[in-house]
């Protein structure tokens, strides 16, 4: 398996949507009532948000949705949703790309919230648990 990571340009969201919406739906199922899959799609198409793919050839293994958050004292790259299959095979290359994107956008941290199972996945990457929110250093 040769996993590649790519940012999906806004003009290509529609063309990959049928291949990624199930991963997004699965991720959203942990937080019912907040968003629908359609809400996520509209946000990706109309707001400054990013969709990242982990793939090998024509097979998509995972997706991450991000957006830059500007706080009064720092910027972070918030991972809005993470979903896919065989996550441990594409986590490392995805993390490298997201950290680079974060640095390029003057972000100091990757930030996310999620179920507690993410702790065991990201603890070797520097995850700091803050109740259900966590940070991963960019540098």
Q: What is the pLDDT of residue 131?
A: 44
Torsion of CA 48, 110, 69, 23, to 10 degrees: 40
Q: What is the pLDDT of residue 28?
A: 87
Residues β-bridged to residue 41: none
Q: What is the pLDDT of residue 114?
A: 66
Distance CA 3, CA 25 (A): 22
Task: Kindly list the structural domains of the chain, giving each domain's residue range(s) and its CATH number in brackets, ordered by start.
Answer: 4-137 (3.40.630.30)
DSSP state, 34? T
Torsion of CA 3, 76, 83, 13, to 10 degrees: -80
**CA separation, residue 75 to residues 62, 92, 104, 106 (Å):** 25, 22, 11, 7
Q: What is the pTM of this model?
A: 0.84
For the chain (length 139 residues), average pLDDT per consecutive 10? 95 96 90 90 97 96 96 95 86 95 96 71 69 67
> What are the backbone angles phi and psi of residue 43, rounded to the nearest 5°?
-60, -40
């Amino acid at each position: 398996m040769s996993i590649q990571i790519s940012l999906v340009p806004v003009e290509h969201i529609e063309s990959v949507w049928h291949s990624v919406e199930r991963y997004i739906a699965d991720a959203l199922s942990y937080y019912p009532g907040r968003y629908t899959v359609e809400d996520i799609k509209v946000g990706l198409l109309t707001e400054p948000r990013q969709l990242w793919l982990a793939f090998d050839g024509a097979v998509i293994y995972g997706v991450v949705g991000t957006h830059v958050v500007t706080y009064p004292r720092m910027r972070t790259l918030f991972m809005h949703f993470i979903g896919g299959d065989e996550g441990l095979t594409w986590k490392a290359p995805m993390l490298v790309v997201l950290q680079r994107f974060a640095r390029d956008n003057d972000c100091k941290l990757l930030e996310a919230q999620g179920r507690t199972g993410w702790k065991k996945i990201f603890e070797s990457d520097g995850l700091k648990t803050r109740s259900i929110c966590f940070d991963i250093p960019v540098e």
